Structure 1
């Protein structure tokens, strides 16, 4: 079963996040063969972490909850909240299989969490038509 896990950092937790970096990596190493995708979410500066996203293949929801909530950053209070949802990888590959994009090509993940209302005009990044 595949799961999407989004941990969002608590404001002011950056120093604690850095302090726990080795513990975080050790925890993730246990799941290396099960990770489909992973990486930090970043502030507008493209450098400062604001959370983490993981897509992981685990046997059941209990294992997914353990992955999400036993993680050292979560246990120490780095994260303000966790979103854990079932996921389906439609492309049949992991991020390790993906050749990547152009150098400096930013990628974005958009999560629509609620009913919301349609925009009055579509968002178009600068330089596109």
Structure 2
């Protein structure tokens, strides 16, 4: 899929830039950033593709360095609980994505490449 400069692409570009800035500069994301840096010391850039708030935890889907997707499950109330971290190659993540999901991923990969 190629980028064409559509309104949808622009929307995701803005959202992904905000999420990236938030991850690296917002105090509320300090815990997540620390976990990412510890688990993936080679991390140069990360774009949050999605957050699923569950009953007692939050599940983050993150594009890491344009190399792979990381799923990080963080306990919301008990900060001592170890996070659950899983990874998946981008090509496997891409399989089965909706068109909108594919657009979001391509925009995130473009941003990561430019970083």
Question: Which of the two has greater helix per residue?
Answer: 2
TM class by shorter chain equals under 0.3
Structure possessing the higher radius of gyration over alpha carbons: 1
Q: Which has the higher contact order (CA 8 A, sep 6+)?
A: 1
What TM-score, normalized to structure 1? Answer: 0.24
What TM-score, normalized to structure 2? Answer: 0.26
